Amino acid sequence: MVIVNHQLSPNLAATRILARQLVRLRQQITNLQRSRSQIRGVATHTQALYASTSISTGMKGATKAMVAMNKVGT
């Protein structure tokens, strides 16, 4: 709305500056959204790796327990 009001005034230079600022602002918003989605992807990947590590640790403990039980039984 501000740019439209400026277009009606004779000050064309101010209108161009506002238009450029608007374009830059929109580009910054797009870049911010892209960065945010990449960070969310990294966070999801990190959570998946943590879950995988937890499962591996649990399996390692279960394997040790089964080995110990087999040694007791023989």
Check: pTM over 0.75? Answer yes or no: no
For 10, which DSSP code? Answer: S
Provide the pLDDT for residue 2: 63
Distance CA 22, CA 2 (A): 11
Q: What is the tens place of the pLDDT at every residue in 35-65?
A: 999 999 999 999 999 999 999 999 999 999 9
Domain ranges for the chain: 2-73
**Contacts of residue 15, Cβ cutoff 8 Å, sequence gap at least 6:** 3, 6, 7, 9
For 24, which DSSP code? Answer: H
End-to-end CA distance of the chain: 85
Q: What is the tens place of the pLDDT at every residue in 64-73?
A: 999 999 888 6
